[in-house]
Chain A
Amino acid sequence: MVQFTLPKNSKINKGLVYKKKHNNHISINLKVYRWDPEENNNPRIDSYEIDKSSCGPMVLDALIKIKNEIDSTLTFRRSCREGVCGSCAMNIDGVNTLACIKPISEVKGDIKVYPLPHMKVIKDLVPDLSKAYKQLASIKPWIQRKNKDKNKSISSKQLMNQSPQEREKLEGKWECVLCFCCTTACPSYWWNSDEYLGPAVLLQAARWVNDSRDTERKNRLSELNDSLKLYRCHSIMNCTRSCPKGLNPAKEIADLKKAIVTEL
């Protein structure tokens, strides 16, 4: 359902301000979304002032510095710190991205950090992604092979060679790290997250639909052919705009629609 305003328990209050102790260096200001399930309060925005000269180049470095030196209760997901794992997805300076590959120098003024938009918050910058993962499972993100001749079964030892041309069809699809930056940037997904699969999952669907080793292309396409699952995409392009890996979910979705029209 379309609801433009936040529910009562999600309205954001003013938070605490942490000032720097020594005022002799250039500082960075971070405004971070905080919510603690242990307290019965609404979310708040805390403000942190940190020393630029002793901080790493990325926003994640600043968050880690805050957690180490100022406020150890600040909670966020992170792991690889180089844009490979997709854990530290959050909304920085108004656009979803990975904190570990977002340079502080790219942000003008205060750095505003929020969790991924329109998600239930577990704590601080950690959103609940379980629904998105369920949707991912629903498109069966694994190779399916069925033999046309039902008497013969395909041996698991049999090699499944892929030509360079066939492999090239997966370019721009396999690189997705499932950070769900695109899905949570999509207004269509905000209003229809129960039915619409969202760009990240549809990109994965395209990845398996276009795999030459998979025999269920037609079945996959007909399962996607649904006014809510796929056609809630209205080419708003927020997905492509926000993808930290530079992929193009909107184009993959358009290609899926085209494949459904021409092949089914």
Chain B
Amino acid sequence: MAVTYEDASAQVAPRSSRLIAFIRKNASIFLIYGIIILIAGGAAIFSESFRTPSNMANILRQSIILGLLAIGQSIVILTGGMDISIDMMARTVALTIATLFAFYNSDPSLILPLILLGIVIGVILGGINGLLITRTHATPFIITFGVAFILRGVNLAISTTPIRGIPKEFLLIYNTKIGIIAVNVIVMALVWFLVWLFTTRTRLGRGLYAVGGSPRIARLSAIRVNRTLVWAYVLSGFFASLAGLFVLSRMGVGDPGTAEGMTFQSIVAVAVGGISLYGGRGSIIGTLGGVLLLTILSNVFNLIQVNIYYQQLLLGLVVLIAVAAYRTPRTVRSG
């Protein structure tokens, strides 16, 4: 069961064993941040260009796209599902908004309405996912996989070439900086904090854990399982749309290759961060670690100029090792 009872036992235990219990409970989080410090430290020692402040700021900014997608993915995976369609939802939003900008001659006054429209599209797509999954009791993984293919077809129909005509002001989302730190990094830090508050302090957030732990027990505990699930997919669509808009601002054109391969990266980030892929366990803080780890790895790969083909191989190797090191709680799972 995902609902934690540690508070009651922790209060009676003496201080030292409380610390040990805390470390043991959050072992995966300590592990991931330990690995990050190791890799970043090693890279900082060996690579001149890695330890420059501007590169550090750049890593933080690069982590935003994966971060947004991984937040959505975490929320869904906490419920025991998985959302394969997030990269295609992000692409649909990016291409639609780019097309509309191009159609209205990149009118800067349309920026706010179109951002809202993009978010609405993401939310609707996520809602469709959620309704399909809860109403038909089908496997989330396959439903979203199918939806991803449908959206891939739709996206190809929208455009196969980059769409020009994004107004200059829209690019400020990516470019605005205070000193060397981009404003969007600060906003993103706030988003991570809010999501952490959401998953730990709100009723819906705790409901995600309960549903992921055991839908049956959650139902018996008067949690609206279906409603919680739909919310999870809606949130996933919401964050995917934010990621799509962010990519649009970064590229400056509607790129038909938006977020290619990001679904798998987001799942890896979530899994490496210690959220159980069976749902119900783990923390959004771990996901942040996973996102940072993947971003730093790709940055280091580029700096030490690993051949692009071997990068793929290394990524696959990292994934396989992570997968093989994966431990499942040996509990009987009941629907």
Question: Do A and B actually bind?
Answer: no
Interface positions of A (Cβ within 8 A of B): none
